[in-house]
Structure 1
Amino acid sequence: MILNTEVKRRRTFAIISHPDAGKTTLTEKLLLFGGAIHVAGAVKSNKIKKGATSDFMEIERQRGISVATSVMGFEYKGIKINILDTPGHEDFAEDTYRTLTAVDSVIIVIDCAKGVEAQTRKLMEVCRMRNTPVIVFVNKLDRDGKDPFDLLDEIEEELKLSVRPLSWPISMGPTFQGVYNMFEQKLNLFFADDKQTVADDVVEIEDINSEILDKHIGGYAKSLRDDLELVNGVYPEFDNEPYLKGQLAPVFFGSALNNFGVRELLNCFIDIAPHPRPIATETREVSPFEEELTGFIFKIHANMDPNHRDRLAFLKICSGVFERNKPYLHTGTGKKIKFSSPTAFMADKKSIVDTAYPGDIVGLHDTGTFKIGDTLTQGESLKFKGIPSFSPELFRYIENADPMKFKQLAKGIDQLMDEGVAQLFTSKANGRKIIGTVGALQFDVIQYRLEHEYTAKCRYEPINLYKACWIETTNQEQLKDFRIRKYANLATDKRGREVFLAESPYALQMAQEKFTDIKFHFTSEF
């Protein structure tokens, strides 16, 4: 009974966006409204206060410490909310992709002036792969931006989503008056005086033709009525079913910096967002209401402070109750492991947790035991699906710069690749190792960490590649021909699967046209 109650009151979600759309600000304001912090900005209070102009790894160390607050839990109206804050910078997109495997729903933040940007499109593709329910928050209404109807068209077209506005802005920029909340039928008036505390400027208006509306917003009342009539005529009524299937996205407007529209978003979110849902494994589907514990590792973070070599593995609990000091089966190694100090993340501090329920994220101290995708159970042999690697976009040969440290380099590369920092390919033609990443910054991270954590030195050499594609076919004759013709472009990944390294978009297109029975996959799960 307790398990059922705890599952139903949990909401685990990620906030995703293009950098600078206001994701961190929205996260802070959600914590502020949830009472987890008292002044916005406190989320950052435990980060190193050194300037970002210092050397590169200082920035990395700063990021390393902020990871401690990348999972934030708080209670709001009897609901336990877990926010997973994702790296905004595209160089760390692989991190974000995997974080999305551990959530039940997503809030996408869009800048009202810039609209849908490249990174947002990529992240939406990941959500679509998993049919993750999405809520859209259009931010920065206190600045001039695109027309709301144009924005909705752009969201539908670019993100391939049906939308339904649940709030509507009254003007924007310098003349921004506020938002009409269609979900609760309330008028929220905008006063940009105090950005640090929570204000209560809400007028209940059940009938938008009422004179109360004119009294509060004057000449803007007519255009609001016209807009709402158009919205109700053009967009479908909000229905929870298509939202939960990831087909319909409710849209809210506001200004996170000014605390505006955030509470409405949070109130609607706890009403409509899903509690933890069943998750597929390779053999069966796991229900969150099952008594036996199951969970998977979706992120590993190694602290880059030389004084502390501990790694933290992030466990998403999928079913049952996680208990401290209870032995659980690591299905990859077949060994049972106990955890004496599992960590829960509560806003801006970490705390030892005795029990955790489905939907919760627990930090486990790791001495190198875990890899991303590893599963913990109470005895059953399971492996969760849907934790893919994505085709990298940047490639370099990696070479040993210190012949005396060959073993250390091999061990370092092996462990860092397990962590998902990047991907390793071995060329079939010459046996050379190729590192693939989604961002240039990752090459520096790998080089620094190999030197400081494994006392190994590496150097990079350029290689001209466009994409890495995993290949699959049932036509063995065509595969044989493909292997002969494309031998110089073939490699194997860390798990021994065959990968085609295309040198250009044209080379990939020609291969697809010539070898029609071969499927070229851009993620490692197929």
Structure 2
Amino acid sequence: MKVYETNQIRNIAILGHLGSGKTSIAEALLFSSGAIASRGSVEQKNTVSDYMDEEKTKQGSLSTSLIPVEYNGIKLNFLDVPGTDELDNEIKQALSVVKGAVLVIDASKGVEVGTERLWNEIRKMHIPAVIFINKMDKENVKFEEILENIREKLGKKAVPFCWPIGKNENFEGFVNVIEMKARIYNGTESYDAPIWEEKKPKIDQLREMIMESVAETSEDLLEKFFGGEELTEEEINTGLKNGIYNGELTPLIVGSATKNIGIRTMLGMLAKYLPQPDDLRALEGINPKTDENVVRHTKDAEPFSGYVFKTTIDPFVGAINFIKVNSGTLKTGQEIMVHDLHKLEKIGAMFVMMGKTQLPVELAHAGDIVCVSKLDNTHTGYTVSDPKQPIVYP
């Protein structure tokens, strides 16, 4: 796999109540980006994400899977996170290494118990999020009722960036309210369509609501907006980013993973509006030699440090550690300190996992997620860093 710079990386958790369609979305993301030639399905037990025998039997995720997606020069590291309460530690470990989230809601069920629990966890950790309403092609789906349900239970900050076209089995696309374009999908391709006259008042109302939210991110924009001036495209994009970053705005988009509707639009929005690894807050830890607080920024120029957020056992290579590079760079042959073991290790084979497939890499920039094998006795929750400039993360 190609090596990506920090500003080309997005780390994003895919979360949702059990059965909301997270794994199907991961499959659609891979298919839409060209990483796989055809989509698997949970029912056929051939998805990239749910590859363990027990997951295939239960038809549900039991472990966090890494799904790297390359799209328009951006690498999006998706973590497909289990939706069950029993795997709470998996969820918390995944959220500790991302700066963005997609919260998936089943359109036929609305906000469920797990949805609220995950939403509260995202808010508590100040992670910017996008809500994806999946399964819009199911029977008895009433979008305006779902929207009211979401805004009532998750808050008024959730704003529809898309409005559906067609409903139930006739759901075929949506109006992108930001771009003011209708998009119709035929399963493999999409094309622009005019916005129906009867829909224009609703779309104009939604756009006005979004523009007001954008204006509220800056006093200058607010003055311009209420002065009747049009905001420029750059001002809109900057305002949307700021609103999403600080939690004042949560985009809500619609689609169907099994029909591949809305997936490319979601990819574009995630790449454009969710933070890159060096955005938002810096990371804090302790220097184990002095017990002093240490701050690390997610930049290549900083000393290397990383956090092991997941460990799996492969029958052929043994333990595989998933490492988020918090600062500096990591490359094959590099010597690192495993602080929990007080032990020096040398990085051997380094790779990116796509489900269970290993894609070799030789270098990882600050903010990226990579996998390393043969780090003896290194486990989830351990910190690794430059031996000369140590840090331990809580």
Partner of 2:285: 281
Q: Equivalent residue of 2:90, what SS?
A: helix
Report how far residue 50 of structure 1 moved.
Answer: 8.7
Report the TM-score, using the length of structure 2 for normalisation. Answer: 0.80
**Structure 2 CA distance for aligned equivalents of residues 100 and 45 of structure 1:** 18
Task: Name the % identity.
Answer: 25
Q: Select 1:75's aligned residue among 70, 73, 97.
A: 70
Report how far residue 190 of structure 1 moved.
Answer: 4.0
Q: Select 1:185's aligned residue among 180, 183, 190.
A: 180
- Structure 1 portions without partners, runs of 5+: 54-58, 204-211, 215-220, 386-526
The answer on 1:270 being equivalent to 2:271 is yes
What does residue range 112-261 of structure 1 map to in structure 2 within 5 Å? 112-160=107-155, 162-191=157-186, 194=187, 198-203=188-193, 212-214=194-196, 221-222=197-198, 224-234=199-209, 236-238=212-214, 239-261=240-262
> Would you say the 8 A contact 2:21–2:257 is kept in 1?
yes
Report how far residue 249 of structure 1 moved.
Answer: 0.7
> Would you say the 8 A contact 1:32–1:38 is kept in 2?
yes
Report the TM-score, using the length of structure 1 for normalisation. Answer: 0.61
| Shift in CA distance, 45/14, structure 1 to aligned 2, threshold 3 Å | closer
The answer on 1:344 being equivalent to 2:327 is no
Amino acid at match of 1:359: G
Choose 1 or 2 for highest CA Rg.
1
> Would you say the 8 A contact 1:10–1:81 is kept in 2?
yes
Q: Equivalent residue of 2:189, what SS?
A: coil
- Deviation per residue, 1:74-107 (Å, 9 max, x gap): 3211112211111233322321221111111001
**Structure 1 CA distance for aligned equivalents of residues 297 and 370 of structure 2:** 19
The answer on 1:298 being equivalent to 2:309 is yes
Report how far residue 366 of structure 1 moved.
Answer: 4.9
- Deviation per residue, 1:168-191 (Å, 9 max, x gap): 112411343420012222211244
**Structure 1 CA distance for aligned equivalents of residues 21 and 347 of structure 2:** 36
Q: Equivalent residue of 1:155, what SS?
A: helix
**Structure 1 CA distance for aligned equivalents of residues 6 and 47 of structure 2:** 26
- Deviation per residue, 1:252-302 (Å, 9 max, x gap): 111111010111111121111111033232523321114221111112223
> Would you say the 8 A contact 2:350–2:373 is kept in 1?
yes
> Would you say the 8 A contact 2:61–2:82 is kept in 1?
no
The higher-RCO structure (CA 8 Å, 6+ apart) is 2
| Shift in CA distance, 88/367, structure 1 to aligned 2, threshold 3 Å | same
**Structure 1 CA distance for aligned equivalents of residues 98 and 156 of structure 2:** 19
Q: CA RMSD in A?
A: 2.9
Partner of 2:233: none
Amino acid at match of 2:25: L
Q: Select 2:390's aligned residue among 366, 376, 381.
A: 381
Q: Equivalent residue of 1:113, what SS?
A: coil
**Structure 2 CA distance for aligned equivalents of residues 45 and 11 of structure 1:** 18
Amino acid at match of 2:27: E
What does residue range 317-466 of structure 1 map to in structure 2 within 5 Å? 317-346=325-354, 349-366=357-374, 369-378=377-386, 379-385=388-394
| Shift in CA distance, 247/46, structure 1 to aligned 2, threshold 3 Å | closer
Partner of 1:417: none
What does residue range 434-513 of structure 1 map to in structure 2 within 5 Å? none
> Would you say the 8 A contact 1:115–1:146 is kept in 2?
no
Q: Select 1:312's aligned residue among 297, 300, 320.
A: 320
Q: Equivalent residue of 2:190, what SS?
A: coil
> Would you say the 8 A contact 1:105–1:132 is kept in 2?
yes
**Structure 2 CA distance for aligned equivalents of residues 290 and 352 of structure 1:** 20
| Shift in CA distance, 51/186, structure 1 to aligned 2, threshold 3 Å | closer
**Structure 2 CA distance for aligned equivalents of residues 274 and 29 of structure 1:** 22
- Deviation per residue, 1:163-211 (Å, 9 max, x gap): 22211112411343420012222211244xx4xxx313223xxxxxxxx
Q: Equivalent residue of 1:201, what SS?
A: strand
| Shift in CA distance, 309/38, structure 1 to aligned 2, threshold 3 Å | closer
Report how far residue 228 of structure 1 moved.
Answer: 1.7
The number of equivalent residue pairs is 350
